[in-house]
């Protein structure tokens, strides 16, 4: 077994046990239900801002967009305005499509040798699993707002209706929960089963996937199998959202605290990990800069100020000596 995913799995199982034993058996529900969630929110928000400000301080002196099409040139050469934007508008379109549709993943290719020739094949799977995973995650997060908002606003109930459109069973199956688990499992299998990707994967790649699989599994367990008292859960979460903290009477099940603890770990882990692509995608200089290097002069802002000694000044300094030595001068 590969050490990288073994340790990640071990970490997730270990964290889950900590919460299960801590809140479920030892009865530290105040710690796992109030203190840790607040701590996680503080770490997430401050860590996120700190990380982005770090990027904001990093100089990006020149234009370094990846150009995926014809750049702006002569009038009769058609420019690819999205993949090689030269205006702010083009950049906005490019960024929007990147963030919403993951276009750069869509261009994923695999290099293979076919016969005696090298071939680049278009491979859609990464994009497909990624878009399944990310949109499911978004839907799940928005749906969970029902635990944090009172009254529950229209967009949450609307999403619940769409998500539960199949009306299977009671409580009705929410598609996004299942597709989230499927997406995360598929992304994990991709890393495990494809040898080249396995070779470049490290523990920090497996850990978030396994953690999210843990979140999805515990969530699905609570909704469909072992059950929790949802009203009590909301009592706890509303207490957190309104700063009237308290553990509801009788407490909640260990599984609920495993779920909550996993989410806290994930939130606190985001600013220090690859998951920071959440903010980073907005700040990738290879995507968000217009390719206008030939139209505008971009001066490196930290260029040192160079003291020039022009020829005129030079002649002023040495004119007499130059004349003495018989050198030609411009001004007599």
Q: Which residues bind another protein (CB under 8 A)?
A: 44-45, 48-49, 52-53, 55-56, 60-61, 145-146, 148-153, 156-157, 160-161, 167, 169-171, 227-232, 234-235, 238-239, 241-244, 248, 279, 282-283, 298, 301
Measured from the CB of residue 156, what is the shortest distance to another protein in angstroms?
6
- For 253, half-sphere exposure in the C-beta direction (CA atoms, 13 angstrom radius) is 14
Measured from the CB of residue 104, what is the shortest distance to another protein in angstroms?
20
**Nearest residue (CB) to another protein, 69 versus 153:** 153
Crossing angle (nearest 10°) for helices 36-57 and 254-269: 10
Number of residues written out for the chain: 332
150 contacts: CB under 8 Å, gap ≥ 6: 234, 238
Q: Which helix (H) or strand (E) holds 214?
A: helix 203-220
Residue with token string 């959202």: 241
Please tell me the distance from the alpha carbon of residue 265 to that of residue 280, in angstroms, as a whole number. Answer: 20
**Nearest residue (CB) to another protein, 55 versus 106:** 55
**Nearest residue (CB) to another protein, 12 versus 159:** 159
Residue with token string 């929960």: 177
Measured from the CB of residue 78, what is the shortest distance to another protein in angstroms?
28
**Nearest residue (CB) to another protein, 163 versus 205:** 163
Please tell me the distance from the alpha carbon of residue 66 to that of residue 168, in angstroms, as a whole number. Answer: 46
Measured from the CB of residue 86, what is the shortest distance to another protein in angstroms?
16
- For 299, half-sphere exposure in the C-beta direction (CA atoms, 13 angstrom radius) is 5
**Nearest residue (CB) to another protein, 58 versus 111:** 58
**Nearest residue (CB) to another protein, 123 versus 228:** 228
Measured from the CB of residue 266, what is the shortest distance to another protein in angstroms?
13
Measured from the CB of residue 17, what is the shortest distance to another protein in angstroms?
24
Measured from the CB of residue 195, what is the shortest distance to another protein in angstroms?
38
268 contacts: CB under 8 Å, gap ≥ 6: 39, 40, 43, 44, 47
Q: Is 225 exposed, middle or buried (0-12, 13-18, 19+ CB in 10 A)?
A: exposed
**Nearest residue (CB) to another protein, 82 versus 248:** 248
């Amino acid at each position: 077994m590969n050490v990288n995913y073994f340790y990640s799995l071990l970490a997730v199982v270990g964290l889950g046990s900590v919460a299960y034993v801590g809140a479920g058996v030892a009865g530290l529900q105040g710690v796992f239900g109030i203190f840790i969630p607040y701590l996680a929110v503080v770490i997430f928000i401050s860590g996120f801002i700190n990380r982005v400000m770090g990027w904001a301080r990093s100089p990006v002196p020149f234009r370094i967009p990846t150009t995926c099409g014809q750049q702006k040139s002569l009038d009769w050469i058609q420019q690819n305005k999205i993949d090689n934007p030269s205006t702010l508008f083009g950049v906005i379109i490019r960024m929007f499509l990147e963030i919403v549709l993951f276009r750069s993943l869509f261009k994923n290719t695999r290099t293979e040798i076919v016969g005696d020739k090298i071939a680049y094949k278009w491979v859609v799977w990464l994009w497909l699993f990624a878009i399944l995973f990310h949109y499911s995650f978004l839907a799940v997060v928005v749906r969970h707002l029902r635990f944090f908002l009172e009254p529950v606003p229209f967009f949450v109930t609307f999403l619940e209706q769409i998500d539960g459109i199949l009306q299977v069973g009671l409580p009705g199956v929410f598609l996004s929960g299942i597709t989230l688990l499927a997406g995360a499992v598929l992304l994990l299998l991709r890393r495990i089963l494809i040898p080249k990707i396995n070779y470049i994967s490290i523990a920090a790649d497996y850990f978030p996937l396994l953690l999210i699989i843990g979140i999805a599994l515990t969530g699905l367990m609570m909704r469909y199998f072992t059950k929790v008292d949802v009203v009590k859960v909301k009592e706890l979460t509303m207490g957190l959202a309104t700063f009237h903290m308290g553990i509801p009477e009788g407490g909640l099940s260990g599984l609920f605290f495993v779920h909550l603890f996993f989410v806290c770990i994930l939130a606190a882990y985001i600013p220090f990990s690859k998951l920071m692509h959440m903010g980073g995608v907005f700040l990738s200089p290879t995507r968000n800069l217009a390719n206008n290097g030939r139209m505008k002069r971009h001066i490196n802002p930290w260029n040192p100020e160079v003291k020039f000694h022009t020829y005129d000044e030079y002649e002023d300094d040495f004119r007499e000596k130059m004349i003495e030595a018989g050198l030609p001068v411009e001004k007599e």
